[in-house]
Each structure stands twice: as C-alpha cells, then as structure tokens.
Structure 1
Amino acid sequence: MSSISFPHCGDADLVPSSSLRDSMQAQFYAPPGFDVSGSFQMNPLSAHPPRTPRPSTTQSHFGNTTTSVYDEKSEATEKGVAGDTADEDEEVDEEGERVAEAEKKVDRHEVWRDMLVTSGGRDKAFKLMQYSIRVYLLLHSKLLFRNSGGVWQQELARRLESARSGVSFTRKMLILLNWLTPLSTIMAQKAVPYSSGGSSTTPHGLADIPVGKPSPSFTGDLLSHPFLQALLAAPPPVLLDLVNGLSDDIYTLSRLGLVGPRVGARAARFADWCWLFGTLVGLVENGVEMSIVEGLQREVENRAYSESLEGATSKSRPKASKVDEKELGRLRRKNYWLQVTRAKLIMDFIFVSCDIFRFKRGKDTVQSIAGLGSAVLSFAKLYDKFKSVLVNKVLSNTE
C-alpha cells in the first residue's frame, strides 16, 4: 500500500501503512516535524488575542498569508478614545497653568490696596500694629531695658504706649455700627416658624383664636411683632454677633465721653462674655467642618489607593488621576485654613478668658502673645481671601 505524505515532512517522516497495523512496533503515531527556525506564531482565531494591536502573521501550509488581529474599525475607535483622553488631559493641564500664571500677575501691593480700602482690612492691619507694639513694650520693660532707667528709654516706652492706645481706639471706631451686618441677616429671614397660626409650634389654647382678633395678653402682642419673631428664629451665632456689636458700641461711646464710665465698663464686660461664647460656638463649627473635609479627603485618598491596587496608574487613567490630585489639593488647602482658623479661635479664647476670669499673674504677657498670634493668623486669612478674589478676576478677564 502506498504511504500517505503530510506537508512539511521529508522522506524520513514517511510512515508505512503496514507499521500502523502492528501495535507492538508503533504504539504512537509520530507527529509531523515542525520548522524550528521560524518565529513564534499565534493562532489568529484564538479567543485571547495579543494585548498590543499588532498584526499577527501566520504561514499556512499552502502559502504565506497575513491576518490582522484587530480590524480597522477597532483601531479607529481606540485612536478616537485616546484622542479624547488626551484632549481632556490637556484641558486639566491648561487650567492649572492658567491659575499659576494668574497668581504671578497678582502683585502684593494690589492685595494690600484692596485690603486697606475696607474697614475689615484696616482693622486687621491696625490689630497687627497694636499687638506688635504691645509685645515690644513687654520685651522692652522685662528683658531689654529691665535694669536701665535712662530718660530716652522711658520716653520711647511712653510714646509707644500712647501709640498703642491710639491704635486700639482707632480699631474701636472702625468697627462702630458693626452690628448692622447681623441685623441685616436677621431681617432678611423670610420664613419664620412662629408666623403661621396653624403650625405645630402654636399652643393648643391659642389655636382656636381668630387671626383678625387681638391676642388676649400683652405677651401675645409682643411676640407677634415681626422683629421679635425674627430674633427668635435667628441662629445663636448671629444673635451673639448682634449683642456683641451693640455692647462694643456702648463701650466706645463711653470712651468718647457720651456715656458714663460705669455703663461703659458693664458693656465691655458683657461684650467679653459674648465674645467668649461666640468663640466657643466658632470652635464647635470649625470642628464639624474639619471633620467633614477630612472625611472627603480620606475618601479621595482611598479611591486613589483602590485604583492603584486594581492596576490603574497615572498613565492608564490620566484624567481620573489628575482630577483626584486636584480635588485632593483643594481639600488639603481648605483643611489648612480651617486649622489656621482653629488656632486663631484658640488665641482669642485665651485672650478673653484672662479678662472674664480676672487673671492677675502673667495676664499682660499671655494677652500680648495671644493677641499677636491672633492678629497674624487673622491677617493671613484675610490676605489670602483678597488674593483669591484678584486671581479669579484675572482668570475671568483672560477668558
């Protein structure tokens, strides 16, 4: 019987049919020889194509044929997605570059100019001057010229003390009528819970009284006044600001001589109590806001960490990573200024506690250092605020 020839098989590979019948001589069928000189070849019909979009060249038994694993449509789709991702990345990069260029265009003297135009900016600048002089006087009297009693040292200390007192009084005049801001906030309230007659806050005894008829008591007429209803509905921090501003103005009027010194001293002490409670409320609000920002920051960091475990890198997901980095930077910046605010509130609490609890030992030293620290931190916060406004203005003009 004639032998069967297979492709790529020489004469040595020919297997006679008689040997196939003899199981004792050939138990296994000899496979055809392979061309070991050729390169690695992958089946184009495989369910797992190569990761890179490279054409796979296969050599058939009947000729050389070239088969592309990825067709032209898939390649065009991938090119389009890559182009969109590159455009989004360029937009994110351009936004960061625009912000950096806008910050370079804003000069310090422009920020100072806009700050000192407002009464709040002048108050912070004068506060920094006041407590800087006070700290220098403390060092002057206790460290620098403690044992010296020269005439020029005494004259310098007297002039600086007069300047400190004048700057303090100037600050009182700058914040005069500052209570108008919380008053406007109170009067701007539209929905008051005590205004509706059928609300759940109405007592059962007054629920059946007609709206057009007057209240049976003077207290009812007093509580029905819109301003008193707005005061009752106002949040406690706004009420504290209102009362504190009124007390400060009474103390300022007493220093001007328009009100008696006894009334001025009582108003000053009442303003200190309002300042103390307002500082405690500010610390609580600051703590809540810091916890929220830190939670958002941990969420962004955990998302970036999970993506890194999944194998996603800045090269595989450039847009997502850049957005996360931008958001993380914004949250860190906000957390930083919240920490600055907390430090400023702590300094204010230390300062006002010395007056409220009438500390005697070391009061001047503690209040001077706490006042200077509060002045520096508040000035830095206001400076950053005005600088951000100018940067946003530059960005809006360049668009």
Structure 2
Amino acid sequence: MSITASPSLSLLNLEDPHPVPHLRASSYPPRSHPVHSTRPPSPVQLRDQTNPWVTALQHPRPQRHVVMTDSISSIQSGWGIRSVEQARQPEWEPPERFAEVVVGSHMTSGGLEGLEGSGGTGGLGLTGGVGKGKDIYKEKKKDIKRDERDANGSLVVETWARVMDSSKGRDKVLKCLQYSLRTYLYILGLIATIRPHRPWCKSHSKRLKIAVSGLSLTRKCLLLLNPLHPIADLLSPQPMSPRDMFLHLFDLFSALSDDVYCLSRLGLVNKRKGKVADRWANRFWFLTTLMSLYTLHLRTIPHILISRRTEQNEKRMVEARWTNRKLLSDLIFVSYEVFSLSTLREPVQCLTGLLAALISTKKQYEQHSFMVKNA
C-alpha cells in the first residue's frame, strides 16, 4: 500500500525527520527566470524572502511515495494503543514461581482444561483451578522455606530437638551412647590382654563402666509407667477382638515387669523380686520380637510384594527391611539373656545392641523429620 503526500501535508513535513522551520531560502536553487528589478525590494518582499513558510510555498518540494512496511499491530504498539487481544488479557501477572506451577501439570485437572469448554461460561473453567493454584503456590513457598532451613542446618537441629523431646527418642539416643561405650570397653579389654593398661587407663575404664550402668538405669526410668497405654486400650469402650485383647494384656505384663525391675534398680523394691521381673521382662521381649517377625514376614512383606510397584511401596519395602534387621538384632541379643548363653556373649550383645539402637534412632529421626517438614 502506498500513500502519496500532497503539498498541504508537505507543509507539516510528516515524512521528513527534520522539521520545516530549519529550512532556509538559500538552500533552494535560484529560479530559472530571475526577475531583474532596478528598484530595491520593499520591506514586505524582504520579510517574505526570510520567512521559511512562504519560501516553502513558493518552492514546493517534490512528492514522495511512502510504503508502509510495518503492520497495524506494530504501529498500534508504537502509538501506545493496545490491540483487542491485549485488551482482553488481565493486567495482573502472577509471580514467576507461581506461573511455573500454574502452567505445569498441576493445573490441568479442573483448571486449564476448562479452556476447551468445560468451564460453562465462556469456556474458562478456572474456578477450581485458581484455588488449587493458590494452594500449590503456598506449598511451593513452604518448600522454598524448607530448603532454606535445610541449607542453613536449622531443619536438622529442629528435628533432633523433637527427637529428644519424646521419651522414646531420648531412650534410643541414650541406647546408642550406652552400647557405643560398651563396645569401646570391650575393645579396651581386648587390648589389655595383649598389653597391660596404664593406671590412668584403668581408672578411665572404671568410670566408663559406671557411665554404662547409669545410662541403662536412665533408660529404664524414661520408660516408667508404660503400662498406662495398654490399660487405656483395655478400658476403651470400643469393641475389640480376642486377639487384640491378648496383645494388650501381653503388653501390660511386659511393661509391668520392666517397671518392677526399674524400681528394684532404684532401691524401692526388693532385689530378688527385681531379678524375677527382669527374667520375665526378657521373656516377654523375646516373644514380642518373635510375633513381630512373624507379622512382618507373613503379612507385611507379602502384601507389599503383591501390590503394584510404586514409589510409596518401595519406601515401605525399604522400611520393612530395616525393621527386619532391627528385630533380628533384638532377637539375638535377648536370646543370650533368656537362654543364658555364654559363647561370645559380650561381643555379640555389643554389636547387636548397637545395631538395633542405630536403626531405632534412624527411624525416630525420619519420623520426626517428616513431622517438621510438614509443620
């Protein structure tokens, strides 16, 4: 498309980048037939000669053909005029992270799928999608804060604080310390058979033995009054099967045996009764471990293997394997107590006790870490 500029438009000089007032009369060529006059020019003629507008009228510039190569939309954007499609778009733009989430696959269900007509009015089904997008945006911000806390190390400290707040978590941490010291003492004993200890090493070993005994008593005190849990389950008004009732009674007698032995260690109960309670506590522990292994191998693991392979089932399988290792360690440890075995008693109990303590502490940490991340 071409537009021809008329002489009237050339007065405004729309197509020339330089304004017309910069022109001078001397810049144009002289006339082909100059007028010779003997008299001097009048003041009006002098004024007209110096006026650029009059000079432009007397000497019209050649016409130009302007070809418009730009599109209408580019011209409108250059003039600051929005197109119809741009006018329909909202002024608000979501944040960058929110836009990434909304554009992703999270908004496809009930959200951006409504563009094809599922929305009802206008074909936009963003009613449920916007709310879902806001929830995802909040979760994304929570993940960012969690990553920042994890980078700073505060997440680990907070998780350990929660582990130590619970009596069970504190018991497992102290158990790790107890059996670590017990293993260290066993290694010192092996070294003493080869090379005698110095006096300071003997006193050091004596202090560590007292520490191991004190940690054992502390762990027993942390688990005092555990019979309250099975008693509460037995007194519950909800109906229970005979199997559940038997398990609750079993837990009750096991916890009572542990408490009686702890009270005997504190000096509140006769030591003879404490020894009897200790034997029964070990027997209950042995039977509990056997029942847990039976349930794990004949119910839990086969159910996971039969179910569909998903990420959640794989995690459950990993947890089941760690639980199996922990139960086997407990079974080996308590077998020496129940059957009064003496072959390799100290090294086996040190290693199995330490392994069971580490696995239990790991499980406690993962449990509380999950709670901290979702808090």
Larger gyration radius, structure 1 or structure 2 = 2
**Counterpart of 1:162?**
210
Q: Which residue of 2 is the match for residue 80 of structure 1? A: 116
Note the aligned Cα RMSD (angstroms). 3.1
Matched with 1:291 is: 302
Matched with 2:285 is 275
The separation in 2 between residues aligned to 1:368 and 1:139, in whole angstroms, is 10
| Aligned counterparts of 2:196 and 2:245: Cα–Cα separation in 1 | 54
Match 2:252 to one of 231, 242, 261: 242
Residue in structure 2 matched with residue 350 of structure 1 by the alignment: 332
Q: Percent identity?
A: 30
Picking from 347, 354, 373, the partner of 1:372 is 354
Residue number among 163, 177, 180 corresponding to 1:115 in the alignment: 163
CA–CA distance in structure 2, aligned partners of residues 135 and 128 of structure 1: 11
The 1:103/1:138 distance shift into structure 2, 3 A limit, reads farther
Query: Kindly tell me: are residues 233 and 345 of structure 1, through their superposed partners in 2, closer, same or farther at Cα, counting changes over 3 Å?
Result: closer
Distance change >3 Å, CA 363–CA 391, structure 1 → 2: same
- After TM superposition, the score normalised by the length of structure 2 is 0.60
Q: CA deviation at 1:355?
A: 0.6
Structure 2 CA distance for aligned equivalents of residues 101 and 332 of structure 1? 28
| Distance in 2 of aligned mates of 1:338 and 1:371 | 19
Question: Residues 127 and 81 from structure 1, CA distance in 2 versus in 1: closer, same or farther, beyond 3 angstroms?
Answer: farther
Taking the aligned partners of 1:294 and 1:80, their CA distance within structure 2 comes to 42
- Aligned counterparts of 2:143 and 2:331: Cα–Cα separation in 1: 37
Alpha-carbon distance in 2 for matches of 1:376, 1:331 = 23
The counterpart of 1:191, out of the listed 219, 228, 239, is: 239
2:274 to 253, 264, 267: 264
In the alignment, is the contact (CA less than 8 A) between 1:350 and 1:370 conserved in 2? yes
Aligned CA distance change for structure 1 residues 247 and 79 (closer, same or farther; 3 Å):
same
Match of 1:384 among 347, 366, 372: 366
Give the equivalent residue in structure 2 for 1:311: none
Q: In the TM superposition, what are the counterparts of 1:138-217 in structure 2 within 5 Å? A: 138-143=186-191, 146-191=194-239
**Cα shift at 1:114:** 1.1
Q: Deviations over 1:10-48 (max 9, x none)?
A: xxxxxxxxxxxxxxxxxxxxxxxxxxxxxxxxxxxxxxx
Q: Which amino acid aligns with 1:264?
A: G
Paired AA for residue 349 in structure 1: L
Separation in structure 1 between the aligned mates of residue 192 and residue 145 of structure 2, nearest angstrom = 46
* Gap change, CA 1:187 and 1:331, over 3 Å in 2: same
Q: Distance in 2 between matches of 1:374 and 1:104?
A: 33
**Matched letter for residue 350 of structure 2:** S
Matches within 5 A, 1:35-54: none
Name the CA distance, whole Å, in 2 between partners of 1:270 and 1:165.
Answer: 20
Cα distance, 1:383 vs. partner? 0.5
Q: Give secondary structure in 1 for the equivalent of 2:348.
A: helix
What stretches of structure 2 of length at least 5 have no aligned partner? Answer: 1-112, 119-123
What TM-score comes out, normalization by structure 1 length?
Answer: 0.56
For residues 337 and 96 of structure 1, the distance between their equivalents in structure 2, rounded to whole angstroms, comes to 28
Does the aligned pair in 2 maintain the 1:123–1:171 contact within 8 Å? yes
SS of 2:247's partner is helix
Q: Distance in 2 between matches of 1:384 and 1:249?
A: 29
Distance, in Å, in 1 between the alignment partners of 2:326 and 2:194 is: 31
| 1:295 to 1:359, Cα distance in 2 relative to 1, 3 A | same
User: Structure 1: which 5+ residue stretches go unaligned?
Assistant: 1-76, 194-231, 301-327, 394-399
Equivalents in 2 of 1:96, 1:115: separation in Å? 26
Note closer, same or farther for the CA distance 1:334–1:374 as it changes in structure 2 (3 Å cut): same
Cα displacement (A) at 1:78? 11
Measure the CA separation in 2 of the matches of 1:242 and 1:345: 20
Cα separation, 1, equivalents of 2:147 and 2:172: 23
Q: Is the 8 A contact 1:115 1:386 kept in 2?
A: yes
Count of matched residue pairs: 249
Evaluate the alpha carbon distance shift between residue 144 and residue 291 of structure 1 in structure 2; reply closer, same or farther with a 3 A threshold. farther
Query: For residue 255 of structure 1, what is the aligned residue in structure 2?
Result: 265
Matched residue, 1:132: 180
